[in-house]
């Protein structure tokens, strides 16, 4: 029985459990039907502050099982998920709900409420929901249709300014060119050339490839009755923006883009220059460009960039003032000096064994932390997620750290990532590594050989290497179910039975239970 079989079996068990979940808190479930009045759209805030009397930050965050909530999400019971999250938040004031679960639940519930409302002609109720919960409508595949439906509802209510404000928001916030162009195509249906032209002017500030430019020209022709309809050439702006985004722009490219941004008051070009300087370690120049961008047009991404630049400059008071002026755009961003940063949360999640959560926190840490610090925690999280190639690249970037301890950790991580990728011959042990780190690398090489032998169908070789591992590294933890499956493939059924029985007693894991039942079936087949 190979490890792939275990994954399939576990998936079957999880799927069966998802179909029969029950909520432990008997919570009420709003949003079973269409509300009688717009006020019915108000939902409890899952991430609200702790209830009165709860000491802020008192005690460690509790371990809360959310598997049944994910099962409810998969079953489409989004309202119940939100209500149960609210109950859990009240019961455990120091607990933070899974960010992905909250985001996806909000998005799917928004679709479920807005799309049928617009289809049924309940335009006022769709608009009321959007205006009460704008933060749940983000620029992503899962919510873009809901945003389009809200714009349609505004138009049906003869509020064209509000309808085009929704389209404007998409163009400002959405990095996906396909979704922006599709939004412009939706806007054509409003038959409002003047407002459409204003949207096209915003999109013209972006960089495009040839196919995107041809599509943009067709949109202009269909919506305004003018513009090029044949093949188009990339402009210097398009080429330069793409070069800056790919980190291959020359000094002359950057100088030209800066001049263009100033002359044309191009908010997007200024924002791109801001992020270029921020990533390049020049936060003062970055702040200047973000401020210019915001003076010409306010966008969430430019606000976030300015917030990060202030943080890099140690201007925490200005960060807080900026967040106070724009709470919707900057909610959740930490000011410089705040203790509970995203990177700190990433390391804490990694210590707790939750590599997926650690990776999510590291990915959104952005420019608020040094790049090598972010890449170090990303590397360890990616390695735990068995994404060896990405981990190796992250550790390579992290090795540029000026801190000796961080550099040593990155070198060790890179060696482990190369081993996990089967590239043992590329591993070069750094002289700065401790004896313990060198031992961990040698043990990883041996464990990789054990796994490779087993996967190649040579359990005897794998077993011999396993004995060598016990002799060389007696304090090392067990390799989990693999040790039992090696015995099973060798035909040592009673030894495998003893191993899995003990593992089941210790862990009560589904893998151990399934392995034990498989061995018992081989030992005592049904007659």
pLDDT tens-place string over residues 77-105: 777 887 888 788 777 777 778 877 887 88
Residue 220 C-alpha from the chain's centroid:
34
pLDDT tens digit string along 172-183? 888 788 888 889
* Higher per-residue pLDDT: 265 or 19: 265
**Mean pLDDT throughout 396-410?**
86
427: nearest Cα among 441, 439, 440: 441
Who contacts 292 (Cβ-Cβ below 8 Å, separation ≥6)? 261, 262, 270
Q: In the block, which residue shows the tokens 């398009």?
A: 238
Closest CA to 398 of 370, 372, 359, 362: 372
Q: So what's the pLDDT on residue 219?
A: 87
pLDDT above 90 (res 24): no
More confident residue, 85 or 451: 451
Name the most confidently modeled range: 7-11, 269-273, 506-510, 513-517: 269-273
Compute CA 373 distance to the chain's CA centroid, rounded to the nearest angstrom.
Answer: 18
Confidence of residue 166 (pLDDT cuts 50, 70, 90): very high
Mean pLDDT of 128-157: 84
Q: Which two tokens stand for residue 257?
A: 């883009």
Burial of 57-89, coded b for 16+ CB within 10 Å and e otherwise, reads: eeeeeeeeebebbbbbbeeebbbbbbbbbbbbb
Q: Are 342 and 365 in contact (CB under 8 A)?
A: yes
DSSP 424: G
The whole-angstrom separation of Cα 467 and Cα 471 is 6
Q: Which of helix, strand or coil describes residue 230?
A: coil
Q: Is residue 129 within 8 Å of 114, Cβ to Cβ? A: yes
**What is the pLDDT confidence band of residue 1, given thresholds at 50, 70 and 90?**
very low
The larger pLDDT score, comparing residue 232 to residue 437, is at 437
pLDDT at 193 over 70: yes
Instruction: Tell me the average pLDDT across 434-444.
Output: 87
For residues 493-512, give the mean pLDDT. 83
pLDDT of residue 372: 77
Q: How large is the average pLDDT for residues 260-289?
A: 87
> So what's the pLDDT on residue 450?
92
Read out DSSP for 232-277? Answer: ----HHHHHHHHHHTT---HHHHHHHHHHHHHHT-HHHHHHHHHHH
Tell me what pLDDT residue 169 has.
87
The confidence score (pLDDT) of residue 135 equals 77
On average, the pLDDT of the chain sits at 77
> So what's the pLDDT on residue 463?
93
pLDDT at position 108 is 83
Residue 226: predicted pLDDT: 63
Average pLDDT for residues 404-423, to the nearest whole number?
A: 88
Work out the percent of the chain whose per-residue pLDDT is above 70: 81
In the chain the domains, ranked by start, together with CATH numbers, are: 20-55+62-158 (no CATH), 339-433 (1.25.40.10)
Q: How confident is the model at residue 486 (pLDDT cuts 50, 70, 90)?
A: very high
Helix 388-398 vs helix 404-420: crossing angle, to nearest 10? 160
pLDDT at 364: 62
Average pLDDT over residues 63-89: 79
For the residues 306-312, what does the mean pLDDT come to? Answer: 85
Q: What is the pLDDT of residues 317-375, one digit of tens each?
A: 788 788 777 776 675 555 554 444 667 777 877 877 778 778 777 766 655 567 778 88
Q: Which spans in 421-475 are helix H?
A: 435-455, 459-472
The top-scoring range by mean pLDDT among 136-145, 264-273, 330-339 is 264-273
Query: Does pLDDT of 49 surpass 70?
Result: no
Instruction: Report how far apart the first and last C-alpha atoms of the chain are (Å, whole number).
Output: 21
């Amino acid at each position: 029985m190979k490890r792939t079989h275990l994954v399939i079996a576990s998936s079957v068990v999880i799927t069966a459990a998802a179909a029969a979940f029950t909520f432990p808190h008997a919570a009420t479930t709003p949003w079973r039907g269409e509300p009688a009045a717009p006020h019915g759209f108000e939902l409890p805030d899952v991430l609200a502050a702790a209830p009165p009397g709860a000491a802020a930050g008192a005690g460690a965050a509790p371990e809360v099982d959310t598997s049944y909530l994910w099962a409810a999400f998969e079953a489409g019971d989004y309202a119940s998920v939100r209500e149960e999250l609210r109950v859990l938040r009240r019961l455990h004031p120091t607990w933070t709900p899974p960010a992905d679960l909250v985001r996806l639940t909000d998005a799917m519930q928004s679709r479920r409420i807005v799309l049928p409302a617009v289809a049924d002609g309940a335009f006022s109720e769709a608009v009321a929901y959007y205006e009460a919960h704008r933060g749940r409508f983000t620029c992503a595949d899962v919510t873009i249709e809901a945003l389009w439906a809200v714009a349609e509802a505004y138009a049906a209510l003869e509020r064209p300014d509000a309808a085009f404000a929704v389209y404007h928001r998409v163009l400002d916030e959405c990095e996906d060119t396909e979704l922006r162009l599709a939004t412009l195509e939706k806007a054509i249906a409003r038959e409002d050339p003047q407002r459409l032209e204003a949207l096209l002017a915003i999109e013209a500030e972006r960089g495009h490839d040839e196919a995107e430019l041809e599509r943009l020209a067709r949109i202009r022709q269909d919506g305004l009755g003018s513009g090029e309809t044949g093949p188009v050439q990339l402009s210097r702006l398009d080429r330069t923006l793409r070069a800056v985004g790919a980190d291959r722009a020359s000094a002359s490219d950057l100088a030209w883009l800066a001049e263009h941004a100033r002359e044309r008051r191009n908010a997007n070009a200024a924002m791109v220059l801001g992020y270029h300087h921020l990533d390049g370690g020049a936060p003062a120049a970055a702040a200047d460009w973000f401020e210019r961008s915001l003076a010409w047009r306010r966008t969430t991404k430019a606000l976030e960039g300015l917030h990060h630049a202030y943080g890099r400059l140690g201007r925490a008071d200005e960060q807080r003032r900026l967040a106070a002026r724009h709470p919707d755009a900057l909610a959740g961003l930490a000011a410089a000096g705040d203790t509970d940063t995203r990177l700190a949360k990433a390391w804490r999640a990694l210590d707790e064994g939750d590599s997926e959560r650690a990776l999510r926190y590291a990915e959104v840490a952005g420019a608020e932390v040094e790049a090598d610090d972010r890449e170090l925690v990303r590397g360890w999280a990616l390695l735990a997620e068995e994404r060896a190639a990405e981990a190796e690249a992250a550790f390579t970037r992290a090795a540029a750290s000026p801190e000796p301890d961080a550099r040593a950790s990155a070198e060790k991580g890179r060696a482990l990532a190369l081993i996990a990728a089967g590239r043992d011959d590329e591993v070069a042990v750094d002289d700065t590594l401790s004896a313990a780190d060198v031992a961990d690398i040698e043990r990883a090489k041996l464990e990789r050989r054990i796994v490779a032998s087993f996967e190649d169908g040579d359990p005897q070789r794998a077993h011999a290497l396993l004995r060598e591992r016990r002799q060389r590294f007696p304090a090392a933890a067990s390799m989990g179910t693999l040790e039992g499956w090696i015995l099973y493939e060798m035909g040592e059924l009673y030894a495998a039975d003893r191993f899995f029985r003990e593992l089941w007693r210790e862990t009560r894991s589904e893998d151990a239970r399934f392995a034990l039942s498989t061995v018992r079936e081989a030992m005592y087949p049904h007659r």
